[in-house]
Structure 1
Amino acid sequence: MNWIISKTKIKFHTLLHEILKPIWQDLADYDWILTDLDFMSDEKIPIDFDHDYFVLNSQQFEEVYQSDTQIIWGIISAVPKNTALDLKIISRLSAEDENAWKPDQFLIQQSIVEIIALDSSYTIAKFKDEKLSEKFKEYFKKEAIELEKFTQKYIK
């Protein structure tokens, strides 16, 4: 239930609106954590470069989702609403953590979905819910490669 995307037919594969499109309706009741971010946006959205991390409710995150924002780098996680979080740990997380490349290793343990954007080159998508994972894979088809197979082939 872990996928990586490096080449797609979408505008750019770190556009959250495209990455989350097949599962968006299933994620309406979650809060969102965004950390270790680098992004480009021409729109006013509830994230900036003045903070190390963001905890957004579903309405705030929808502003990011609906925008034409490219997440170049970062960790984006859906967590159940009102989840107790250790913000000190979250503020120090890095998409460069070696666990980002390990199947079923979530950088934010409470995540139901975790998206890791790596320098606009790769997007890793991890799921704890099999139905969400299946919807994601069905939407992206061959473009979504199993993370384990990818790492075995390219990362030793």
Structure 2
Amino acid sequence: MNWIIRSIKSLEFHTNLREVLKPIWQDLNEYEWVLADLDFMTDDEIPIHFDEDYFILNRDEFNVIYQSRTQLIWGLISAVPRNTPLDFNLISNLSVEVQDTFTADQYLIKESYLEITALDSSYTIIKFKDEKLSNKFKEYFQDEAIDLQEFHKKKI
């Protein structure tokens, strides 16, 4: 239930959230979004910037990013159930450069329902706790979604 995309055949650019979340977006109405350790490029006005370590966005705020042409070059995007207590000290110090990023079923934010990691415009990792969503994602991306555990065995 953990995938990595390194080929961009079906993506206009890596970690384009509109494309990455397209097959499952309608299933993610009940979540807040945590974004941390970010680097991105956009020409649009979006509710994130470089002056903060992290952002907690509601569905409408996150939808602005989802609808934009924002390339997430680096960072963590996590869907957490609404009103979930979070450890903001942990979140403000998150780094996607840790080994757990490439380890299947290891979430940087333990409360995550799903986690997306953008790595240097080269890899997009997506981890699911819901098998149904994972299957929809894999069905949509087919061979472009590589099993993270298999990738990890070959590359690390």
Q: Secondary structure at the match of 1:135?
A: helix
User: With structure 1 as the length reference, what TM-score do the two structures score?
Assistant: 0.98
The aligned amino acid for 1:52 is: D
Q: Structure 1: which 5+ runs fail to align?
A: none
Does residue 44 (structure 1) correspond to residue 23 (structure 2)? The answer is no
Q: What is the RMSD computed on CA atoms of the aligned residues?
A: 0.6
Give the secondary structure class of the aligned counterpart of 1:3: strand
Distance 1:4 1:134 in 2: 14
CA deviation vs aligned residue, 1:55-79 (integer Å, no higher than 9, x gap): 0001100000000000000000000
TM-superposed CA distance for 1:140, in Å, is 0.4
What's the CA shift string for 1:85-115, capped at 9, x where partnerless?
0101000001101101100000000001100
Residue type of the partner of 2:75?
Answer: G
User: Aligned runs of 1:5-154 on 2, under 5 Å?
Assistant: 5-9=5-9, 10-154=11-155
Q: How many residues align?
A: 155
User: Could you tell me how far apart the structure 2 residues matched to 1:51 and 1:92 are?
Assistant: 11
The one-character-per-residue Cα deviations of 1:121-155 (angstroms, maximum 9, x if unpaired) are 10100000000000100000000000000010111
**Letter aligned with residue 62 of structure 2:** F
Identity %: 63
Structure 2 CA distance for aligned equivalents of residues 123 and 98 of structure 1: 15
Gaps of 5+ in 2: none
After superposing on structure 2, the runs of 4+ consecutive aligned residues of structure 1 that deviate more than 3 Å are none
User: What secondary structure sits across from 1:73 in the alignment?
Assistant: strand
**Residues in 2 aligned to 1:2 and 1:65: alpha-carbon distance in whole angstroms:** 21
